[in-house]
Amino acid sequence: MPGFEVFGAEERKQVSDVLESGVLMRYGFDGMRNGHWKAKEFETAFAERMQANHCQLVSSGTAALTVALASAGVGAGDEVIMPTFTFVASFESIMMLGAVPVLVDIDDTLTLDPEAVEAAITPKTRCVMPVHMCGSMADLRKLKDICSKHDLILLEDACQAIGGTFEGKPLGSYGDLGCFSFDYVKTITCGEGGAVITNKEAYKINADQFQDHGHDHIGNDRGAETHPTLGYNFRISELNAAVGLAQLDKLDGILKCQKHHYTILREALSGVEGVSFRRVPEGGEENYSFLNIYLPTEALAKKAHSALSEAGIDACFYWYTNNWHYINGWEHLKELKALGRLPQEIRQQMQDLNSTDFSKSDAWMGRTISCLVKIGWPEAQVKDRAATMRRVITDIL
């Protein structure tokens, strides 16, 4: 991770196909394309790779979440349960539809705590959105059982965990809907892009229409298409899809390299007293894009994070004080700061995030250091990095 580390001739060839045809839009202009339909090709290949019946490409991971929620009928006043540790896109996508994000604690998986999820369910709950942060997954079996019991939608945000699996199924394909991001720093990238996968025909049709102004995409005359429902513009371009198509062919190699580098780093730290690792639920395999460790206390984690940086170990993150990925930095959400007037449902139903007790999440996040696993490192550099990390953390502890 990330996919831009392996840009090469394959991406250039796919992009050149688009530029030579001159058709950068994924719809229409059939006669000018010279047979190039990059978005359609990517959707077919990605659905197959993710063991899903359908894939809808969109313009970003945030767009994917919004389109997925909309395709399942989530709207104004519906509550969507999400974790305290995620990217801001999670609540942005929910609120964009007038729905209400309900934040709950994480556990030692660094993802949704199933007990916290069940405790947060109300008559207005429509969806549970686990976010597979830093390459690994939530307790999906427990969450699926909860959703089945309460007739809720299970929407997997797998934007940071492409290539991981649970019970033999690719992450994103286990729930009713799965979402992916292909932005510039993801495991595979389109530059900007995202995808929604599902096995449900109705969700597939809804997603296809919603992401393109409600077009029904029937026939070969775009101007004659009807609009069965309202929609918006979340389309991907042929240029972005072309890059992603080349990257998808490299995914298995990327995952293999990530696992190899991850294993070297983890083995170096496994024998250090006081270091423990995030729990991967039974039946799951992470995608190895991050090595996530716990130190005994918040103070030691802060100290170790600073010492690693001083020792030249970059791309290690202390999420607890990060403005983008943990609730501590989301003042704009806590205060509901928006450019315009927010929907009444959000203003009336939103929990008071300034007074909600998230001490269980704090207890995990305060002790967590996440280290990005890059695929561009030579093996000697990985081993040097592992030795330095072991030395620095051992000295701290």
DSSP secondary structure letter of residue 126? E
Annotated active-site residue 186? The verdict is yes
User: Sign of the CA dihedral 102, 103, 106, 111?
Assistant: positive
Query: How many residues are recorded in the chain?
Result: 397
The secondary structure of 220-256 as a DSSP string is S-GGG---SS---B-PPBHHHHHHHHHHHTTHHHHHH
Which of 23, 28, 10, 11 minimizes the C-alpha distance to 219?
28
Q: Which residues on adjacent β-strands are paired with residue 106?
A: 112
Which listed residue (40, 144, 169, 186) is catalytic? 186
Q: Which residues contact 284 (CB under 8 A, 6 or more apart)?
A: 136, 137, 140, 164, 165, 166, 167
Residue 88 and residue 25: Cα distance in Å, rounded?
Answer: 29
Which of 249, 201, 310 minimizes the C-alpha distance to 6?
249
Provide the 3-class DSSP secondary structure of residue 198: strand
Q: Mind telling me the catalytic residues?
A: 186
